[in-house]
Amino acid sequence: MFQIAIDGPSASGKTTIGQSVAKKLNFVFLSTGMVYRAIAYLHYHENLSFAALLTQIPKRVKLEDNCVLIDHMNYGNLLQSEQVSKWTSAIATNQLIRQIAVKMQQAFAVNQNIIMDGRDVCSVVLPRANLKIFIDADVKIRAQRRLVQLNLPNQKLPEIINDLTQRDQQDATREIAPLKRDETARILDTSNLTIEQCVMIIENWYVSLLGKK
């Protein structure tokens, strides 16, 4: 089995690239951020107590290729909303939540050719991954991508740049699972690359490593 771990900041392109590479290589894909979004949605939308949430997660949140299910339903687009993003920021830094989520993610990766993306996949979730990648991009380019993703007017660009800059600072300095590049991860700056070019680079890395296994 071959594991590819991808870390990177918000809007760096890691999920889009990860999905594209997974499709090309016929790998299973999981965006670990969607796990935390599903947990946050469950917590706030149903107004569950924290104690109740901890017991409900294993029963109601399930992982499948390229999606996270709540009660066997895919809430994909809803989980991408700005409101859920705000809820997730509070949930994702809780140590107990992370322990549960990481165990789910690691169990999902067993006996599968898999690509996972997130913020601590290389160092925590899949520390023995065959290929580790840190995907990054200039914050202005990342903001432009987020603008398009959310279908927002250009006037929102300065606000998004500010939001991403603050998020980067929070992610890098938080006590639990801060965003940092694993020393063994290869850096892929996507600022001036197309998705196709990024996929080709990662595919070449994969083929090179596959020949050494």
Is 8 labelled as part of a ligand binding site?
A: yes
Is 9 labelled as part of a ligand binding site?
A: yes
How far apart, in Å, are the Cα atoms of 183 and each of 20, 33, 134, 186? Answer: 25, 22, 10, 8
Neighbours of 192 (CB within 10 A): 9
Backbone angles phi, psi at 161, to 5 degrees: -60, -45
- How is residue 3 written in tokens? 């594991």
Is 16 labelled as part of a ligand binding site?
A: yes
- The Cα–Cα gap between 65 and 63 comes to 7
Is 11 labelled as part of a ligand binding site?
A: yes
Is 14 labelled as part of a ligand binding site?
A: yes
Return the SS3 of 185: coil
Is 85 labelled as part of a ligand binding site?
A: no
Output the DSSP codes for 130-154: SEEEEEE--HHHHHHHHHHHTT--G
Is 12 labelled as part of a ligand binding site?
A: yes
Q: Which residues pair with 7 in a beta bridge?
A: 118, 134
Is 81 labelled as part of a ligand binding site?
A: no
Is 138 within 8 Å of 9 (Cβ atoms)?
A: no
Q: Please enumerate, by residue number, every residue annotated as part of a binding site.
A: 8-16
Q: State the binding site for ATP.
A: 8-16
